[in-house]
Structure 1
């Protein structure tokens, strides 16, 4: 190569060779600097500054106006990979176009979130696709393919999957450990990631904040043992924000940041997202780790190589060859149409007795009521709206503005304190200084810290009538007549200054707390109470100025307003649900599935006044609404649908589009149906449609249309390692519509607990009235399998399986039987392999913990125990004479083997191991057993069991 064009600039060379050449030219400190999220430029080599991490979950986020598509859970409800791929493509084209005019926009995109929606109380439910690993992985593959682009060499954007691994709680999210047994790990959580990675459209993953089996995810051995074995390409592992420091600061897993940083890098973290744009602390920790011998320079080089591979793939070093350069597209007619199409396909009709669709030509009045009737909600990972369509907007446009009446249903109140009624003073025009939402150059209001250019509330005059909305659990917002919400800025003053609730710490939520004959108003963001002085209202912490005691004077009840509007209309559409910044969001789990009481009262008031009441739930998660489902003629759910939500809803209500979305997760009837939020054992706790033994309110895969479909001619046959499934679906009703045909499999006589049925394939197809289509599916034989803990591998057990063609997980229409031949599963070869403690079949009162800080699992009682473990069908051969237990801590281990009620009595080992939880000792105890029998182990105290080995009699 010529001196002015080194090998790393030669596009004829493979990336590996170019990366190695560039790596060799970087000085040691330059290499360290590349490992921070904000990698600085290296001018002497022509490297630009580079930032990992552009949020792009359902549109380009946080960088100003962009096309906003439905939330991820709404995209999950479409069950349509091709649509989701097109959304990913549109998002990546907008990222390219936005970067061309603003180099803060990154091309390493952190999306999609593939955490499974195991528990619907998870605050970030809106970010995932589904509770099912097959559906989630299919949609994640589609979205990443759209983000990546289809060029064989250069990527349009480089997607990173979130959040590795088993992450479903915001409560204690950086300190709680999920206990994930091997079967759940391999059959459930890993499957959501694997398909997309194997498809070659993923640039990397982001570890989650939480711990799994006692070990922080940023040290996950599965990065090495699983993720990096799935593909031959380099994968970039980007830490979550602040997580590297959590290893010391909140998790106390290491004593020093040098140890923690070194361990994370060795585990596979390549890019450290910490301390904002300041990379100096990360590089200092890395340098300190090198100086202390905790890291080898080769560890740094490995991570830098992965970082550089992504940059080469994005075309940074070949701008003249980059097929995506100059091809970005922003806010095009095609993107606007796609946003509406996605919102239409995401609508799920839960109940319908024939009241829907409504006929716009009939000239009948429609009342559109409820707290979400005239709003277009955004979430934390949305861009700013360029276009906005609320349900009221859409219905007015489609049905005629003169035929549509509106009632929000908020209570109108005045707040009186000792000094008088609270009043919003005249802003003197200051309220007009902020850019309008969606205007060019405007920031997303959710990212604004709070305005201080408006006067605070006072207590004088006639007072202001506020619209009070209770979002559930007593969390409320107060809005002034000009549409501005009461908000608390950094100076503590209370102003009517916010366009909407938002921000990392929401500044617009309050709670009324009974106090004597009145109430105190607590600001939830700061914890302070409202105080009123001569210079205006502010919030102050306990111990500060005396809080104001308020009397709430109701001017009009929201239920009265709704009832009046309902009585004046032919049909009522109640739009209820959540605000994605309130009651269930990142950092905050929900506490109940129930619809907020205030919203429950609204639909009841509407129905009492008008039986033709349709409930539309626009929400980030499921609700338990058994009364509404039984009483109302129609119920429809949609996730927050982005910029076209209202227009899409109106078209569905009018029958322009037949709703055909399907539920991506189970809707339970009551809180009692849910296990503990922290119980990650979907098998043992009988979670999700796979194992839930009760009757759901609405099952996984459920969704109605405006027509009917018949299923016929199911054929299922095995050819080699593939099960070929075919059947015919026919539209037997009056309306053209999509149908989501679903294929489930189930084992009829399994030797271990298996799902009731498991999704193996699906397809969304459009059929005209009377049209039929033969659908064919190729299902891998492995879809019938499970993780055999006895053998430590994926296994398809011989036996008979049912293959079902279904309209939902609770509505199988056709069934075929399929026999899989092969040798029967062998008992556990405990003499040859011993027993890994975590490879149990059943447990009670235990949790899995970290065997050491780098890898491996052990089992320990929850609290002081006792905890019990069951290992079925252990083959002790001709007999054993001793058992050796590898344990740490203090307590007892009791082993008991039995076959049909007979066998050796229990034997006990007591441990008192100095040196902490990772100092194991091997205790040998007499234990006699022969043949195949179950083994029970009881753990008591602060003891950790890693492994059990057996010595054959005479051995």
Structure 2
């Protein structure tokens, strides 16, 4: 039996690479049955054998290396990449990560699940590091939107590759939007007024999407202004409006189910899933690999008419677009299909990991101790001196070079001391030992207990027994942290994970962690076998220099699902540092951490302080190079490091303007400012020039400055460009980053650095016009080494007509578009769209101010209100501080049941005044209209 020639075999149009991509997608979509299309809305899309479609899974983690798939090159945490201030380097890191992900896709079997390893990369994280206590601080680049967007664009372009047709990997930005707290993250609402929303939170995402380097985004767990992010109108009104390209928007894990429980935003799952799909969620990451439940809910929604087939098709089409661009249907043409497994942790990537880790090291303080001279006796002390950590989104390190190992490789013999106490725990009731352990304090009373017998961590098992069996702390439920609570002359052993206490069975001596209270807990003798501080002090005395390496473990006291309580170093680590410094003044502190710490004492008493994020497999070589002067400290802080006595705002206060978050609005001098970082050489700035002393509101100006290396060594400087208005009519930032560049200069070298400064970098969000506006007037252009170290400044005038008074007569004005407020929170006007305001504490009056309002001709006020509960409720109207009337707010029966009520004013108004609305009681205000 003869076979037909290839040309005679029918080839469906979607398999024909000569056709227009849209036509190919349309053809494939048409061939899929409605059930097959519906099934593709789940994270694990099943195969369609009759069409030759393979199974498809959305999402591989690729934040700073390929994660969860086995050994791969591990680069510094994202916050460490942010510290490089080097978008070219970040681009190269992303290229390496995407190349390795391609290799895994083609040559490694997935550890779990069906189908190939996904080429959709869930990275980068673009959320801003507003609060340094955020448990996921390590995942973001910076507290600044300009800095974050620059690096995110570089990372995205590195992930996607340069081919005009095919993607190396498909990028998904995380997490849309205003997500910066972990505690109760699935139920908390970020109250973000329009100015903050536009100038800060959206400002990080907008340029990245507009760059064209992004194929998708992930919605955040939290709510914003009352709307869960998975049904947020901002997906369509903002995110997708920034680009002509289709964006494939995915849910976060289990978030679609959260809409009903625990958020209780919808009554049933079919309704919630329908709302998410219509709001723009194209793929549901829910119920793990079991798609039957979420797809069943969507099928129910389809049957009930809550969604249409067109809603399903739209989402499937977006998925197919990504799959076509990833080369799934054109393997012979895909330029990335030949990538082999040899690229994983190849020599080039190892070298890049070293460079990235080195460039991310920040020299915070140096009084001449660093760089260290050759021939010194060095003691390396601390819990992180000979330990590297993986975080939840890092890959498995193929090898590890610790600080102690890196220094030993360069210096030969160094002494290493962990500085931990070694204790024995013995039951008071049976006298039987639990074991001997090395104890490390990670803060907040949480310690790890590492067995002396086998070097593994004591871990709480599923049956509540205790076994020392964990080599690595890296799991969703961290069961290896405990509290040793003093009780008279004994200690109680308490699991941090469950909160329960260890007990001993009097019959068989079995130890289980089951007691709910201290009353029933076992009392343990705590015998000190080794005083860790004493050993550390002895090592410091015997050395010429002590390097104390402290910081956090990324899985403890600050991680996904858990925010930090404060920014202090763990008590045990602080006391270890002070004890060492007391006997060895030549002590350098190295902080290896995912976030800032308050280092007031160290800054005052130590000659040198260095910070690095958890820098991956080459951390030790990188730090050794910087400490010994083989490399320049080239990193700069990507966020503000506050002082210990600086009272930080509440974690849920997302209004950076009013709360005073970040370098832009913080009103107290920080310990180390945004952009700070010292060098081993000196740089001089001179000849700041603007191409024009004035610029139109739609124009631009060139800013140039001369930079010279006047010190004894080659070095790198980050030239930072900031701007600020001189006499703003709004509450403006103290200064705002407008650009930056990293410059490397040899000794004596001079170079002119030039920025193009568009006038739009001077814009603010005008709540009166609901648009970005560049006010005419005087501005200052600043060249700086950090947000607090201004090197040079020059005046700049923006020309144009003065801003007009705000118009409110005979037009609807949103209540959220205020200029100032007190005791106000932003809420959802409906489940699908719109915002309103309400009192944060209804027992206290809430105030809204609308500045410079033209009230000429106004004789009445109408307001849109909703009110669920009975009780006193009224809205007071004030003009220029004078009370003109009030409106009684009726009960409407539901928070989304809106009615319009009004009152006449006592007299016709005239002129421009400040309008004030005062809310008394528990109700919502959506808008007002003066007639």
Query: Does 1:184 pair with 2:196?
Result: yes
In structure 1, C-alpha distance between the alignment counterparts of 2:407 and 2:17, rounded to whole Å? 55
In structure 2, C-alpha distance between the alignment counterparts of 1:881 and 1:535, rounded to whole Å? 81
Q: Which residue pairs with 1:331 in the alignment? A: 345
Q: Which one of the candidate residues 582, 599, 604 is aligned to 1:625? A: 599
- Once the two structures are TM-superposed, the CA of residue 174 in structure 1 deviates from its matched residue by 0.1
In structure 1, C-alpha distance between the alignment counterparts of 2:841 and 2:731, rounded to whole Å? 27
Q: Which residue pairs with 2:760 in the alignment? A: 782
Query: Does 1:240 pair with 2:240?
Result: no
SS of 2:783's partner is strand
Query: Does 1:153 pair with 2:124?
Result: no
Query: Does 1:942 pair with 2:901?
Result: no
Q: Which one of the candidate residues 10, 20, 24 is aligned to 1:18? A: 24
- Once the two structures are TM-superposed, the CA of residue 538 in structure 1 deviates from its matched residue by 2.4
Q: Which residue pairs with 1:895 in the alignment? A: 876
- TM-score normalised per structure 1: 0.93
- Once the two structures are TM-superposed, the CA of residue 535 in structure 1 deviates from its matched residue by 5.3
Q: Which residue pairs with 1:410 in the alignment? A: 420
- Once the two structures are TM-superposed, the CA of residue 183 in structure 1 deviates from its matched residue by 0.3
Query: Does 1:95 pair with 2:101?
Result: yes
- Alpha-carbon spacing, 1:603–1:6, altered in 2? closer, same or farther (3 Å): same
Q: Which residue pairs with 2:394 in the alignment? A: 382
- Once the two structures are TM-superposed, the CA of residue 723 in structure 1 deviates from its matched residue by 2.5
- Alpha-carbon spacing, 1:822–1:587, altered in 2? closer, same or farther (3 Å): same
Matches within 5 A, 1:449-848: 459-460=432-433, 464-481=435-452, 482-533=454-505, 534=508, 536-542=510-516, 546-670=520-644, 672-717=646-691, 721-848=699-826
Matches within 5 A, 1:44-443: 44-104=50-110, 105-328=117-340, 329-360=343-374, 363-401=375-413, 404-419=414-429
**Structure 1 contact 84–139 (Cα < 8 Å) conserved:** yes
Q: Which residue pairs with 1:861 in the alignment? A: 839
Q: Which residue pairs with 2:854 in the alignment? A: 875
In structure 1, C-alpha distance between the alignment counterparts of 2:760 and 2:463, rounded to whole Å? 60
SS of 1:282's partner is helix
Number of equivalenced pairs = 905
SS of 1:385's partner is coil
- Once the two structures are TM-superposed, the CA of residue 834 in structure 1 deviates from its matched residue by 3.0
- Once the two structures are TM-superposed, the CA of residue 824 in structure 1 deviates from its matched residue by 1.1
SS of 1:63's partner is coil
- TM-score normalised per structure 2: 0.95
In structure 1, C-alpha distance between the alignment counterparts of 2:266 and 2:212, rounded to whole Å? 35
- Once the two structures are TM-superposed, the CA of residue 531 in structure 1 deviates from its matched residue by 2.1
- Once the two structures are TM-superposed, the CA of residue 715 in structure 1 deviates from its matched residue by 1.5
- Alpha-carbon spacing, 1:605–1:420, altered in 2? closer, same or farther (3 Å): farther
SS of 2:199's partner is helix
- Once the two structures are TM-superposed, the CA of residue 717 in structure 1 deviates from its matched residue by 3.2
- Render the CA deviation track for 1:31-86: whole Å, top value 9, x for unaligned: 00001000000111111101101011100101111110000000000000000000
Query: Does 1:919 pair with 2:897?
Result: yes
**Structure 1 contact 699–808 (Cα < 8 Å) conserved:** yes
- Alpha-carbon spacing, 1:494–1:884, altered in 2? closer, same or farther (3 Å): closer
In structure 1, C-alpha distance between the alignment counterparts of 2:128 and 2:859, rounded to whole Å? 43
In structure 2, C-alpha distance between the alignment counterparts of 1:882 and 1:248, rounded to whole Å? 38
In structure 2, C-alpha distance between the alignment counterparts of 1:706 and 1:330, rounded to whole Å? 35
SS of 1:343's partner is helix
**Structure 2 contact 406–624 (Cα < 8 Å) conserved:** yes
**Structure 1 contact 913–920 (Cα < 8 Å) conserved:** no
SS of 1:712's partner is strand
- Render the CA deviation track for 1:881-918: whole Å, top value 9, x for unaligned: 3434444345534333333x5x5x24221223333100
In structure 2, C-alpha distance between the alignment counterparts of 1:669 and 1:240, rounded to whole Å? 35
**Structure 1 contact 592–671 (Cα < 8 Å) conserved:** no
- Render the CA deviation track for 1:450-481: whole Å, top value 9, x for unaligned: xxxxxxxxx25xx7431111111110111112
- Alpha-carbon spacing, 1:47–1:541, altered in 2? closer, same or farther (3 Å): farther
In structure 1, C-alpha distance between the alignment counterparts of 2:804 and 2:309, rounded to whole Å? 46
**Structure 1 contact 373–408 (Cα < 8 Å) conserved:** yes
In structure 2, C-alpha distance between the alignment counterparts of 1:312 and 1:25, rounded to whole Å? 16
- Once the two structures are TM-superposed, the CA of residue 830 in structure 1 deviates from its matched residue by 0.3
**Structure 2 contact 428–525 (Cα < 8 Å) conserved:** no
- Once the two structures are TM-superposed, the CA of residue 816 in structure 1 deviates from its matched residue by 1.2
In structure 2, C-alpha distance between the alignment counterparts of 1:758 and 1:654, rounded to whole Å? 35
809-818 vs 882-891, which deviates more? 882-891
In structure 2, C-alpha distance between the alignment counterparts of 1:663 and 1:556, rounded to whole Å? 38
- Once the two structures are TM-superposed, the CA of residue 541 in structure 1 deviates from its matched residue by 4.2
- Alpha-carbon spacing, 1:263–1:544, altered in 2? closer, same or farther (3 Å): same
SS of 1:187's partner is helix
- Render the CA deviation track for 1:465-504: whole Å, top value 9, x for unaligned: 3111111111011111232111112122211111132311
Query: Does 1:6 pair with 2:12?
Result: yes
- Alpha-carbon spacing, 1:302–1:3, altered in 2? closer, same or farther (3 Å): farther
- Render the CA deviation track for 1:528-575: whole Å, top value 9, x for unaligned: 221234353222242899432112122222221111111000000000
- Once the two structures are TM-superposed, the CA of residue 674 in structure 1 deviates from its matched residue by 1.0
In structure 1, C-alpha distance between the alignment counterparts of 2:51 and 2:874, rounded to whole Å? 61
Structure 2, unaligned runs of 5 or more? 1-6, 111-116
**Structure 1 contact 486–496 (Cα < 8 Å) conserved:** yes
In structure 2, C-alpha distance between the alignment counterparts of 1:670 and 1:545, rounded to whole Å? 36
- Render the CA deviation track for 1:164-216: whole Å, top value 9, x for unaligned: 00001101100000100000000000011111111111111101100000110
In structure 2, C-alpha distance between the alignment counterparts of 1:821 and 1:209, rounded to whole Å? 44
- Once the two structures are TM-superposed, the CA of residue 101 in structure 1 deviates from its matched residue by 1.6
**Structure 2 contact 417–535 (Cα < 8 Å) conserved:** yes
**Structure 1 contact 745–760 (Cα < 8 Å) conserved:** yes
**Structure 1 contact 889–911 (Cα < 8 Å) conserved:** no
- Alpha-carbon spacing, 1:3–1:223, altered in 2? closer, same or farther (3 Å): farther
In structure 2, C-alpha distance between the alignment counterparts of 1:185 and 1:540, rounded to whole Å? 47
**Structure 1 contact 356–653 (Cα < 8 Å) conserved:** yes
